[in-house]
Structure 1
C-alpha cells in the first residue's frame, strides 16, 4: 500500500495512508533506522518499509506492506 512518511516541526514521524484516509504517529521503530524494517503506528498497525538510504529526505511516499498483528 502507498504510505507517506513525514516529520513535523517537532521531529515526530507520522505515516499517512491515503487509501484509508488514516494518519498516525510512528511510535516504534524495530531497527536503528526505519528503512527496511518494521514500524508501529499509534493505532497498532505494523508496517514493513522498503530499504532506502538513512538520509532519505522526508516527506516521501513509499510502497509499504502491512504486517499481521496490528489492529484493524
Structure 2
C-alpha cells in the first residue's frame, strides 16, 4: 500500500495512508533509521517499510506492507 512518511515541525514522524484517509503518528521503530524495518502507528498498525538510505529526505511516498492482517 502507498504510505506517505513525513516529519512535522516538532520533529515527530507520521504516516498517511491516502486510500484509507488515515494519518497516524509513528510511535515505535524496530530499526533506528526506520528504513528496511517495521514501524508501529498509534492505532496499532504495523508497517514494513522498504530499505532506503538513512539520509532519505522526507516527505516521501513509499510502498509499505501492513503486517498482521
What are structure 2's unaligned runs of at least 5 residues? none
TM (norm. structure 2) is: 0.97
CA distance in 2, matches of 1:5, 1:41: 11
Correspondence for 2:53:
53
Secondary structure of the equivalent of 1:56?
coil
- C-alpha displacement of 1:33: 1.3
Q: Aligned ranges for residues 1-72 of structure 1 at < 5 Å?
A: 1-68=1-68
TM (norm. structure 1) is: 0.93
Q: Deviations over 1:21-43 (max 9, x none)?
A: 00000000011210000000000
| Runs of 4+ residues deviating >4 angstroms | none
What are structure 1's unaligned runs of at least 5 residues? none
Aligned positions, number: 69
Cα-Cα RMSD: 0.8
